[in-house]
């Protein structure tokens, strides 16, 4: 990666910089993500929280209920309420929403997940792995990313 990716909310008060590439990019077609985004799927960059530099206001974390009864912490701009990232109970790993990048085209999904609830009119490329629900990390992630997630989860 030559230039670090940056992004932010709609009003510009929340700004962030990703100091490295993400570990993996998910395109999630689950019903929770559809509801949260009001759209067909979400695109998340999974990255260590300490590799996300906040350049502006601190996002506020909102507990959003999921179908399984758990809560997903979605971090939003306190002013315009755009969601910039979330976490699933491990705050060391952030799921940065690709649509908030200044250049969303700088990433593309490494894997499509929860295709069992994918909307019928969404056609997936055959070249990208797609799974009905979830997957075994070892089968999808590059070795360097596996090392990174082991470091995060063991600390």
**Contacting positions for Zn ion (CB under 5 A):** 9, 11, 13, 28, 30, 33, 77, 79-80
Whole-number minimum distance, CB 28 to Zn ion, in Å? 3
Minimum distance of Zn ion from residue 30's CB (angstroms): 3
Which residue lies nearer to Zn ion by CB, 28 or 96? 28
Q: In the numeric block, which tokens belong to residue 131?
A: 């799974």
Chain centroid to CA 79: 21
- Alpha carbon distance, N-terminus to C-terminus of the chain: 26
Least Å distance, CB 91 to Zn ion, is 18
- In whole angstroms, give the CA distance from residue 128 to residue 108: 10
Distance from C-alpha of 141 to C-alpha of 88, rounded to nearest angstrom: 19
Tell me whether residue 60 or residue 80 sits nearer to Zn ion (CB atom).
80
* Of residues 13 and 17, the one with the C-beta less far from Zn ion: 13
């Amino acid at each position: 990666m030559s230039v670090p990716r940056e992004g932010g909310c709609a009003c510009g008060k929340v700004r962030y910089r990703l100091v490295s590439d993400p570990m993996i990019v998910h395109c999630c077609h689950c019903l929770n993500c559809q509801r949260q985004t009001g759209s067909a799927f979400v695109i998340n960059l999974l990255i260590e929280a300490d590799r996300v530099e906040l350049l502006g206001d601190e996002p506020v974390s909102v507990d959003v209920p999921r179908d399984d009864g758990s809560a997903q912490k979605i971090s939003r701009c306190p002013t315009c309420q755009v969601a910039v990232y979330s976490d699933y109970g491990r705050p060391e790993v952030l799921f940065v929403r690709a649509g908030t990048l200044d250049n969303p085209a700088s990433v593309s999904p490494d894997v499509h997940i929860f295709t069992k609830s994918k909307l019928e009119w969404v056609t997936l490329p055959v070249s990208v792995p797609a799974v009905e629900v979830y997957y075994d990390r070892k089968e999808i992630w590059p070795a360097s990313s596996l090392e990174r997630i082991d470091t995060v989860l063991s600390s």
